[in-house]
Amino acid sequence: MKKLIIEKKEFNIRDIKQLYPAVLVKTGYKDETTEMSLEWIDTEAKGRVEIVGYALFLRVGKEEKKYSFLYNSREELDTTIGLVASQLK
**pLDDT confidence tier of residue 48, bands split at 50, 70 and 90:** confident
Mean pLDDT for the stretch of residues 51-77: 96
Model's pTM, two decimal places?
0.88
- Euclidean distance between CA atoms 86 and 61, whole angstroms: 22
Structural domain range at position 9: 3-88
Q: What is the pLDDT of residues 73-82, one digit of tens each?
A: 999 999 999 9
- Total structural domains within the chain: 1
Q: What is the pLDDT of residue 54?
A: 98
Mean pLDDT for the stretch of residues 45-67: 93
pLDDT at 72 over 90: yes
pLDDT at 68 over 90: yes
Calculated CA dihedral for residues 31, 32, 38, 44, nearest 10 degrees:
-90
**Percent with pLDDT over 70 in the chain:** 100
| 3-class DSSP assignment, residue 52 | strand
